[in-house]
Structure 1
Amino acid sequence: MIYQYIAPSPFLQEFVRDYLIAHFRFEKGQAIPFKPYSPKPEQTITFLPKGNLTINDPLKGITEVAPSVSICGQQVSRYNFYLSQEYLMLRVHFQPGALYRLLQIPLIEFSDCWFDARSVFNSEIVAVNDRLAHCLNYAEMIAVVEDYLKNKLRKVKADLHPLDKIATCLYTNPSRFSLDWLASQACLCPRQFNRKFTERMGVGPKLYSRLVRFYKSYQYKEAHPDDDWLSIALLFNYTDYQHMVKDFKEFAGVNPNLWINQDNKSPERILNLE
């Protein structure tokens, strides 16, 4: 079993940030913990060669089964994931703007949903998923996906846009720059900047920056469990603790402590795979 982030080959580093492979096997009759899933600053293609994923929206009370291969733009809502007894997933995390360059479709069309990739890539992507199910090891799975991506990305004509570099800056430091200044760096007026950023990233720059800050704050807490939340809030440029709590309640549906407690019971943590 595995839960591991893997770097792409040098050829793909302009487009792919990393891959995540998750492979869980639960004993028959074993209670399978759900995976709380909050928004992360990412745009992805997810392959499910074995098992299935049931997605619950706790706010809307909607439950659906994810496609075997899905395209996900920027998520803005919290979900609960329920896994099958055996669950094998390979997810491609794209660099900011790279999924838009590949698809040439505004990413707002894929925001906050698991869009069936067959509607975009036809049966070829299903064939890739089928090949993944028969791979002998995880390295072979990465090779299959990389071969597919290399063939697709060789045909990409859209060059790296200044907005992609700005999104990367926001991912690195979401609070450092004013949005007016960022718009000027892209040689756009603020209105054009917001529209084109949304087209490439699926959400506007202000919301994206908030999502990055929220994500990095709880990642920091998980890496530094002894640090108090007020110190973390100030470290990530929240005005105070309550300001941070507001983001947690919007994006995770709960306060910071409850979110960490829920996340610590995720399948990969229960199985000690991290």
Structure 2
Amino acid sequence: MVLRFQQPALPLRPYVQFYMLVHAHYDGLDPAKAVKPMPPAPQQWLYFYPRDQMRTFHYGQGREISSPRSIVVGPQVSRVDLRFPPNHLMVCAAFWPGGLHRLLGVPVKELFDFSIESRALLGPAVTEVEDRLAETTDYTAMLGVLETYLLGTLRRLRPHPERPLDRLLPALLPTGRTTASLDHLAAEACLSPRQFERGFFERVGMSPKLYARIVRFDRAFRLKEAQPDLDWLAVAVQVGYYDYRHLVRDFKEFAGVTPPQLLAAETSHTRVVGASSSFRPA
């Protein structure tokens, strides 16, 4: 399996957190076993699938979805199970809070808990990106195709001048300041609490309180993945939960299962991928 992360070019860094490329061949594997749980995360995404078609099961909608060649994913609160095809290639951009709205003009509040085909939202220029990725076999070139598109969008759309709130939002994830009070965050953005909440909702697509819960939930799951020897109570305390019961509440709401059950599903996928995926040229 190929897994690559790349930082965006300097002009895009206020908007894009990172690029990611994944390529795996699931040779001879029962598709039902090539399933990865994808609980909601703080980022919003622009995905491209240049090879075989991806299928997902959306828990919030209770249905299976066949993805087009490219999708925009807005603010999520529901788990999605990824069902990988035999030749899985994904190239994507992860956006900082507010970045998708500012750079691409996406009405994120209208994308709450679902995705949409990129062409329907971003126009025909996305088709050229899809075609170029489908023709490309070099991974570095694929990431370059995506970045060239985003840089062109930046030059063409000329996002609105940055406001204090726009500078604050990308800092919320790495600093963990989503747990700060609404009044404190509003003061940092030079806004009243009501103005801050309205601006946050416009840029991120959900309330600051709900977003803080998603960030904390995501941090808990990633911490347990990185440090499996930590017990769940220690994980809960480290990421700011009052107790284990509150951690379980969020896992059941956002992932539909308890923390150990979600980790077991992720571990099962990792084990299957390690045994069955292989590397071949793109």
TM-score range, shorter chain: over 0.9
Is it true that 1:126 corresponds to 2:138 in the alignment?
Answer: no
1:193 paired residue among 189, 196, 207 = 196
Aligned mates of 1:269, 1:160 — CA distance in 2: 45
Determine which structure has the larger helix proportion and give its number: 2
CA distance 1:268–1:110, shift in 2 (3 Å): farther
Q: Is the 8 A contact 2:179 2:212 kept in 1?
A: no
Partner of 1:20: 20
- How far has the Cα of 1:59 moved from its partner? 4.9
Partner of 1:170: 172
Aligned mates of 1:268, 1:116 — CA distance in 2: 31
Partner of 1:62: 63
Q: Deviations over 1:2-39 (max 9, x none)?
A: 12322223332222111111112111354542111100
Aligned mates of 2:196, 2:245 — CA distance in 1: 30
Letter of the structure 2 residue corresponding to residue 10 of structure 1: L
Partner of 2:227: 224
Partner of 1:238: 241
TM-score, normalization by structure 1: 0.92
Q: Is the 8 A contact 2:46 2:71 kept in 1?
A: yes
Letter of the structure 1 residue corresponding to residue 14 of structure 2: E
* Aligned-pair Cα RMSD in Å: 1.9
Q: Is the 8 A contact 2:56 2:83 kept in 1?
A: yes
- How far has the Cα of 1:87 moved from its partner? 1.2
User: How many residues are aligned here?
Assistant: 273
Moved more, 242-251 or 1-10: 1-10
CA distance 1:254–1:81, shift in 2 (3 Å): same
CA distance 1:85–1:255, shift in 2 (3 Å): same
Partner of 2:280: none
- Taking only the aligned residue pairs, the percentage that are identical comes to 36
- How far has the Cα of 1:137 moved from its partner? 1.2
TM-score, normalization by structure 2: 0.90
* SS across alignment from 1:77: coil
1:159 paired residue among 140, 158, 161 = 161
